[in-house]
A and B are shown apart, each in its own frame.
Chain A
Amino acid sequence: MTGISEQFGREDWSRHTPKEKARRFGIFAVCALAVFWALGSIEIIWAWVWDSPSQMADLFGRMYPPDTSNLGSILRVLWETVNIATFATALAVIVSLPVAYIAAQNTTPNRATLWLGRLILVSSRSVNTIIWALLFVAIFGPGIVAGVVAIMFRSIGFIGKLLGEAIEEIDTRPVEALEATGASRFKVIAYAIVPQVMPTFWAVAILRWDINLRESTVLGLVGAGGIGIILQGAIDTFNWPEAATVLLAILALVVLGEIVSAFLRRRIL
């Protein structure tokens, strides 16, 4: 009977080969280095860091109990925030349709439009809503127009990308069949493509609306309308109890929004 070391060339067992071990160690070392570099060179006053728990406790102490005296106007502005999100999402959805159409490889008329569509989607997605808001406040002045347009611009990229992917994944056989009946391009789209992407369309629209609810709560912080303005005002005047009320209202709004959107998405499917 041959021994283990004769059969397998070794007497021990380990999970990784030496080469794998070296690679895993390498990756770990790189990550650790990155973390140490970040820790070492970041401009933080470490005295403040150790102080922070007590600072946070202090802050939360000042927020309690929340001051509900202004609840009426807070809720009114919260409603305005919801409207900003809803309108902007609706507009974005409408604009995304043609953009998604030209950004999908199987429906775009030519390479130039494909490139254009993809460019629009990428730039829309890569610029954060807040940055768009900064730009539009500079253009349109403070107010909800800047907010609506900012959310709209950001949403077009999100919706358009997902919609474009859905269009690229359709079953092309009905398209072929309807072309064979002599229907015009537009009718072929309406009958063979649109029904196939409808479920995705609604799911994406509702999802983005949910995300936009969250986004629109901060538009006011850069002057673009919504409840952010009240929050900023409360914080600037160190009115922590009122700020706490606003935060709770925002929490309630977002949670409600999630419940509604989950419900709608379940019904659509």
Chain B
Amino acid sequence: MLKITDLVKSYGGGAPVLKNLDLTIEGESVVSIIGSSGAGKSTLLRCINRLVEPTSGSIVLNGTELTSLKGRQLRAARRKIGMVFQGFNLVDRLTVMENVQSGRLGYISTWAAIMRRYPKEDIRRAYELMERVGIAQYANTRADQLSGGERQRVGVVRALMQEPEILLADEPTASLDPKTSEQIMGLLRDLAGELKLPVLINIHNVTEARKYTDRIVGMRFGRIIFDDLPDALDEEAMERIYSGSPHADRGGDLREAS
């Protein structure tokens, strides 16, 4: 279970990008986060695995407080959090197998990593997962020779190789064509069910969010203003989430405060 309490993130002296956020993700649900650009979706996701440092607040994953960890403990915690990226973020010149095994870097020795001597269990699991997502035949192919959809599958397998307790996906389909996009979303949903894994997906395609996820969280300028089943997302809610500007919002904040 992921429990975020009172999360705030501000850069320098400017207005906070995340404002006192509360969010709880239980068990095996697939949750999507929607909102316009600048709403803070990506920042929220990155605060969870501390790629972005939260300014204040608490993030607890299965009983561990993530915000105060450092060094080795932080790395240990990150092992438990898998992440899939919009740009795939693969190492282009390495083979698919190496990219996939790089998800296990936190678990194997430095020597094994450098010599590419991966544990048998890991290799077996890699082939299993790659076959499940349909890229097993590319094990020895360089990552940059794959198509976009195939590369994202590699990214997904890499994240799953960590045996994570939660999977974060930051706009995983934004760089893909519509058909491939649906394939990846379907894959994420199915895997979440098969592996009993909570999944948190940033997405800007609301149709896909409705179709492939169990719960939709709508963000607007750093706050969560919608948190409900996909069916409850109607015109009025969409209007609230996607319209307006930061100025108008800040004006609203001041009026509330005064």
Query: Which of A173, A177, A191: most chain B CB closer than 10 A?
Result: A177
- Identify B51's interface contact among A179, A183, A187, A188, CB under 8 A: A179
A-side binding surface: helix, strand, loop or mixed?
Answer: helix
Whether, in the assembled complex, B87 has its beta carbon less than 8 Å from a beta carbon of chain A, the answer is yes
Are A174 and B90 neighbours in the complex by a CB distance under 8 Å? yes
Chain B residues lying within 8 Å of A195, measured Cβ to Cβ, are 91-94
Whether, in the assembled complex, B153 has its beta carbon less than 8 Å from a beta carbon of chain A, the answer is no
Q: Which of B32-40, B74-82, B231-239 contacts A (4 or more CB under 8 A)?
A: B74-82
Are B89 and A184 neighbours in the complex by a CB distance under 8 Å? no
Chain A residues lying within 8 Å of B181, measured Cβ to Cβ, are none
Are A191 and B89 neighbours in the complex by a CB distance under 8 Å? no
Task: Tell me which residues from 161 to 219 in chain A have a Cβ below 8 Å from any Cβ of chain B.
Answer: 171, 173-174, 176-184, 186-188, 190-192, 195-196, 198
| Assembled-state Cα–Cα distance A192/B110 (Å) | 14
Chain B residues lying within 8 Å of A182, measured Cβ to Cβ, are 74-81, 105-106, 162
Write the nearest CB–CB distance from B76 to chain A, whole angstroms: 6
Q: Count the A residues whose beta carbon is within 8 Å of the partner chain — how many?
A: 21
Closest to B72 in A: A184
With A190-B113, A191-B91: A183-B105 Cβ-Cβ less than 8 Å? yes
Are A184 and B158 neighbours in the complex by a CB distance under 8 Å? no
| Assembled-state Cα–Cα distance A234/B89 (Å) | 61
Write the nearest CB–CB distance from B115 to chain A, whole angstroms: 10
Are B83 and A178 neighbours in the complex by a CB distance under 8 Å? no
With A190-B114, A191-B113: A181-B158 Cβ-Cβ less than 8 Å? yes
- Identify B87's interface contact among A173, A190, A191, CB under 8 A: A173
Chain B residues lying within 8 Å of A177, measured Cβ to Cβ, are 83, 85, 89-90, 155, 158
Chain B residues lying within 8 Å of A188, measured Cβ to Cβ, are 105
Closest to A175 in B: B89
Query: Which of A177, A181, A196: most chain B CB closer than 10 A?
Result: A181
| Assembled-state Cα–Cα distance A166/B77 (Å) | 32
Chain B residues lying within 8 Å of A186, measured Cβ to Cβ, are 110
Are A178 and B105 neighbours in the complex by a CB distance under 8 Å? yes
Write the nearest CB–CB distance from B114 to chain A, whole angstroms: 6
Write the nearest CB–CB distance from B168 to chain A, whole angstroms: 8
Whether, in the assembled complex, B103 has its beta carbon less than 8 Å from a beta carbon of chain A, the answer is yes
Chain B residues lying within 8 Å of A187, measured Cβ to Cβ, are 105, 110, 113
Chain B residues lying within 8 Å of A180, measured Cβ to Cβ, are 49, 51, 78, 81, 83
Task: Tell me which residues from 5 to 47 in chain A have a Cβ below 8 Å from any Cβ of chain B.
Answer: none
Are B76 and A181 neighbours in the complex by a CB distance under 8 Å? no
Chain A residues lying within 8 Å of B81, measured Cβ to Cβ, are 180, 182
Q: Count the B residues whose beta carbon is within 8 Å of the partner chain — how many?
A: 33
Write the nearest CB–CB distance from B142 to chain A, whole angstroms: 10
Are A196 and B91 neighbours in the complex by a CB distance under 8 Å? yes
Write the nearest CB–CB distance from B73 to chain A, whole angstroms: 10
Query: Which of A182, A183, A196: most chain B CB closer than 10 A?
Result: A182
Write the nearest CB–CB distance from A51 to chain B, whole angstroms: 61
| Assembled-state Cα–Cα distance A182/B94 (Å) | 19
- Identify A184's interface contact among B92, B102, B110, CB under 8 A: B110
Task: Tell me which residues from 116 to 165 in chain B have a Cβ below 8 Å from any Cβ of chain A.
Answer: 155, 158-159, 162
Are A181 and B106 neighbours in the complex by a CB distance under 8 Å? yes
Whether, in the assembled complex, B171 has its beta carbon less than 8 Å from a beta carbon of chain A, the answer is no
Are A181 and B78 neighbours in the complex by a CB distance under 8 Å? yes
Chain A residues lying within 8 Å of B74, measured Cβ to Cβ, are 182
Chain A residues lying within 8 Å of B82, measured Cβ to Cβ, are 181
| Assembled-state Cα–Cα distance A177/B86 (Å) | 11
Are A173 and B89 neighbours in the complex by a CB distance under 8 Å? yes
With A187-B113, A190-B114, A191-B98: A181-B93 Cβ-Cβ less than 8 Å? no
Chain A residues lying within 8 Å of B88, measured Cβ to Cβ, are 173
| Assembled-state Cα–Cα distance A183/B103 (Å) | 8
Task: Tell me which residues from 33 to 85 in chain B have a Cβ below 8 Å from any Cβ of chain A.
Answer: 49, 51, 74-83, 85
| Assembled-state Cα–Cα distance A165/B79 (Å) | 31
| Further contacts, 20 of them, CB under 8 A, given A184-B105, A191-B105 | A177-B89, A180-B51, A180-B78, A180-B81, A181-B79, A181-B82, A181-B83, A181-B158, A181-B159, A182-B74, A182-B75, A182-B81, A182-B105, A183-B105, A184-B106, A190-B110, A191-B98, A192-B91, A195-B91, A198-B93
Chain A to chain B contacts (Cβ below 8 Å), 19 pairs: A171-B92, A173-B87, A173-B89, A174-B90, A174-B91, A174-B92, A177-B83, A177-B89, A178-B102, A179-B78, A180-B81, A180-B83, A182-B81, A183-B102, A183-B106, A184-B106, A192-B91, A195-B92, A196-B92
